[in-house]
Amino acid sequence: MARANDEVAALFAEYADLISITGGDAFRARVYEKAARSIGGHHADVSRLDLKGLQEIPNVGRSIAEKIVEYLGTGRVSAVEELRARIPAGVRRLTAVPTLGPKKAMAVYQELGVSSIEELVDAIRDERLRDLKGFGPRTEQNILHGIALLRSSGDRVLIDAAMDVAESVVARLSTAAGCRRCAYAGSLRRGRETIGDVDVLAAADDSEPLMRAFTELPRTREVVAHGTTRTSIRTTEGLAVDLRVVPPDSWGAALQYFTGSKAHNIRTRERAVHQGLKLSEYGLFDAETGERIVSETEEEVYARLGLPWIPPPLREDRGEIEAGLRGELPELVRESDLRGDLHTHTDLTDGLAPLEQMAAAAAARGHAYYAITDHAPNLFMQRMTDERMLAQRERVRELDAEYGRRGARGGTRLLHGVELNIDPDGGVDWPDDFLAGFDLCVASVHSHFNQSRDAMTRRFLRACENPYVNIIGHPTTRVIGKRPGVDADLDALFAACARTGTALEINSHPDRLDLDDEHILRARRYGVKFAIDSDAHSTLHLAYLRYGVATAQRGWLAKDDVINAWPLTRLRRFLRKGRTG
């Protein structure tokens, strides 16, 4: 069973979409979008709150609170059911087609009964759309092209794939004639785990050379649209990339605007309106005279609105405006703050590189410490034995003596750890006397993902209570787009981690990013500490830490929240986990 907060959040997110599709009040749709985000990220279980307690959740008024009570009592909300009855589920899918917005989607449904992309294609082939007002042969061709693009690109891509394209585009355009500044923006700059399309922003007095260079990039498969301020391409990987060029003196306002999120921008524009100003991608203007006040830097824009500069990962309308006004924005953890990596693998189990190469790569990255945590024997396909693990420990100690002396600041200390398997009953691979020989133990669920909620929760809690388990690895076990997270009482897990001194991992592998930002926000309220780990299975994977850091930033984590941002002496004290022996 899903967490009640998540169920209600999903319901209100759907309701907001339904309001938009039916042409309802845009402000009302935004109200439910905000409520969905607030409820999903709220630490308290909404099923245990009364009407008054529900109204204490940000963005939840009496009407919304009453709908929550209705859902929790009956499993349905009449207002949502009424809109669902008016719109087939397929209509929502239609709105994802480029060039076909909500109004056109509703028109083809109401006039022709079309409620799926397949039916839409058939209607176009039969030339039935051109009889509708606002449609014609050109519209049909545009829609067909949009469908082809949608099918070729899929829905969203993982952050590493988007980052690879974005950094390549920015590097190329930065050398183009007349380019004054260039950066990626949008959800990628905010560190979202998946990206729909890549937004690139450039500043130049003359946009034409940049637009030409953009369309001629080696990765360009198709030019979707070409203009003086905006050009869109589809890359050879099937990813949509938009380039917007603004005057250099509008850079700050444009970067703020195109970074988003939409919800955050609504809040900043509201603040501008309340101060008699108007905020757009071109600057912050006096609403009466039209005089531009500031625009060159994001810092200037935020300052004029009475706010500190807000880091992009926080710009999701999850309390960052209020925290900024109170002077309580966190100083977010940075990749440069990380002193080491506490979850990595070698070819002794399922890694691709030998211990020596992994250690050398970690030292080259400047890590002050680095843990090797190959799999334990209960993950049978890895063929681990006591003897093999002890032989690895001896070699780690030899390398530690070598790498620990390198450099003027103590070199890289190597730690011998293990990734234990959390068995269905919560036990782990070895007895305490064997576990006592490791520098640290990561424990993860690798099997029996479909246990009941109660059984999975007990499984996690027993692992946390093990005095030798230091970190719960990839806690929900999800694989983005392929496997959902396990069903467990995560709030019970968070409380247990805080109580027992067990850290939760933020697994930096782009396929996982587990914990995600919403879970981090919740766990942080319990006082949990975190480990941002690469889970590297090759030397190249060590660079994944950047994505874990981005996710940690979205979860509002500071340096002190992350155990592998601590000096080694403090980390070792934490790893003792209160043991006296």
Instruction: Give the pLDDT confidence of 331-368 residue by residue, as tens digits.
Output: 999 999 999 999 999 989 988 789 999 999 999 999 99
For 407, the enclosing helix (H) or strand (E) is: none
Q: pLDDT tens-digit profile of 75-114? A: 999 999 998 888 776 776 787 676 676 678 878 888 888 8
What is the separation of C-alpha 130 from the centre of its chain, rounded to a whole number of angstroms?
41
Residue 431 scores a pLDDT above 90: yes
pLDDT band at 150 (very low <50, low <70, confident <90, very high): low
pLDDT band at 41 (very low <50, low <70, confident <90, very high): low
For the chain, the average pLDDT equals 91
Average pLDDT (262-281) is 96
Between strands 292-294 and 283-286, the pairing is antiparallel
Residue 407 scores a pLDDT above 60: no
Q: pLDDT tens-digit profile of 467-521? A: 999 999 999 998 886 677 899 999 999 999 999 999 999 999 998 999 999 999 9
CATH 3.20.20.140 matches 335-576: yes
Q: Which of 66, 56, 64 is nearest to 32 (CA)?
A: 64
Quick one: pLDDT at residue 408? 44
Quick one: pLDDT at residue 574? 97
Peptide bond into 515 cis (omega under 30): yes
Contact at 8 Å (CB) between 115 and 122? no
Q: pLDDT tens-digit profile of 47-71? A: 999 999 999 887 899 999 999 999 9
Residue 153 scores a pLDDT above 50: no
Q: Which amino acid is at 202?
A: A
Vertex 481 angle, CA 480 and 482, to 5°: 95
Quick one: pLDDT at residue 98? 61
Average pLDDT (545-572) is 98
Q: What are the extents of the domains in the chain?
A: 4-86, 89-153, 157-246, 250-326, 335-576
Report the alpha-carbon distance of residue 185 to residue 255 in Å, rounded: 7
pLDDT band at 7 (very low <50, low <70, confident <90, very high): confident
pLDDT band at 25 (very low <50, low <70, confident <90, very high): confident
Decide which of 3.40.50.2000, 1.10.30.50, 1.10.150.20, 1.10.3720.10 is the CATH code for 89-153: 1.10.150.20
Q: Which fold has domain 157-246?
A: Beta Polymerase; domain 2 (3.30.460)
Q: Label residue 514 exposed, middle or buried (CB < 10 Å: 0-12, 13-18, 19+).
A: buried
pLDDT band at 126 (very low <50, low <70, confident <90, very high): confident
pTM of the model: 0.77
CATH code of 4-86, in short, is 1.10.150.110
Contact at 8 Å (CB) between 545 and 568? no
CATH code of 250-326, in short, is 3.30.210.10
CA distances from 206 to 176, 180, 209 (A): 11, 10, 7
Quick one: pLDDT at residue 39? 85
pLDDT band at 397 (very low <50, low <70, confident <90, very high): very high
Average pLDDT (374-403) is 91
Q: What is the share, in percent, of the chain residues with pLDDT greater than 70? A: 94
40 compared with 232, residue with greater pLDDT: 232
Q: Hey, do 157-246 and 335-576 end up sharing a CATH topology, with the first three levels equal? A: no
Q: Identify the weakest region by mean pLDDT among 450-454, 564-568, 571-575.
A: 450-454
Average pLDDT (545-560) is 98
**Residues near 523 by Cβ (< 8 Å), separated by ≥ 6?**
490, 494, 497, 504, 515, 530
Residue 228 scores a pLDDT above 50: yes
